Amino acid sequence: MELLSFGDTGWGDELFFATLMTIAVSIAAMLIGFLFALIFTPLKLSKNKSLNILGNCYTTIIRGVPELLVIYLLFFGGTGAAMYVASIFGYDGYIEINAFITGALAIGIISGAYSTEVFRGAILSIDKGQFEASKVLGINKSIQFYKIILPQMLRLSIPNLSNVWQITLKDTSLISVTGLVEIMRQSYIAAGSTRDPLFFYSVAAVLYLILTFLSMKLINKLELKYSKGY
């Protein structure tokens, strides 16, 4: 227990801040994922063939390759790409992209693919009559989307989004390979310097379990709130 005390002698405070980092990266990744989902869901539902293929490519490729690959590609490739772009503008120095941004972007791209599928499923499960009714009433497309489709879509997708959130939360552990100090990285450092990997990785496992447990409780509450009246 002494190993977990706060202050200079223990790893308690380090692990606490690492947990906060994990939560921050997960939330950032989830939001970036929503952004991607908002772009690609309409593409996947579009009647235009080429837009459709573009949307399908995104979800198929991202869900078909390992998460680690996306992270490495962004981490190693991102720096090179940024330096290449900078060299066009005459800057030849070394550019290092922040590990938090790369990590959140990589995990965000992955969670975006899952969110896209969730939103697509939710929109498809909305009764066709609703679209027809709003058309008959002369409601224009954007109001139809914001006032009728979006609220129902969000309600229908909460249970599946909670799965996406769990996946995202667990995927953030992979960013540790790029050096961002979150739970996994901090445990790795602590395990290395105390030579007690069993203890610290168990602590990491417990921290992840607490995070998943708490977020489940929170999401269940949300679900109850938004399914009122159904």
Partner 1 sequence: MISIFPNLLSGAVITLQLLVSSMFFGLIIGLIFAILRINKNPIINKFAYGYSYFFRGTPLLVQLYLIYYGLANIEFLRNSFFWLIIKEPYWCAIIAFSLNTGAYTSEILRSAFQTIKKGYIEAAQSLGVTKKITFYRIQLPIAIKQSLPAYGNEIILMLKGTSLASVITIMDLMGEARKVNVLTFKPFEAFITAGIIYLFITFIIHNIIKYLEKKYGFQT
Q: Which residues here bind partner 1, judged by CB under 8 A?
A: 60-61, 63-69, 72-73, 76-77, 80, 166, 170-171, 173-174, 176-177, 184, 187-188, 191, 196-199, 201-202, 204-205, 208-209, 212-213
For partner 1, the closer of residues 100 and 188 by Cβ is 188
Distance in Å, CB of 201 to partner 1, minimum: 4
148 vs 167, which CB is nearer to partner 1? Answer: 167
- In the complex, the smallest distance separating the C-beta of residue 223 from partner 1, rounded to whole angstroms, is 19
Shortest Å, Cβ 128 to partner 1:
25
Nearer to partner 1, 152 or 212 (CB): 212
Neighbours of 187 (CB within 10 A): 25
- 64 vs 138, beta carbon nearer partner 1: 64
- The least distance separating partner 1 from the CB of residue 64, rounded to whole angstroms, comes to 4
14 vs 196 by CB, closer to partner 1: 196
CA–CA distance, 5 with 2 (Å, rounded to integer): 5
Query: What are the φ/ψ torsions at residue 146 (nearest 5 degrees)?
Result: -70, -35
Residue the block writes with tokens 């914001």:
146
CA distance 206 to 210: 6
**Least CB distance to partner 1 at residue 69 (A):** 5
Identify which of 161, 187, 167, 163 has the alpha carbon closest to the alpha carbon of residue 21.
187
125 three-class SS:
coil
The whole-angstrom separation of Cα 16 and Cα 10 is 11
Residue 164 near residue 153, CB atoms below 8 Å: no
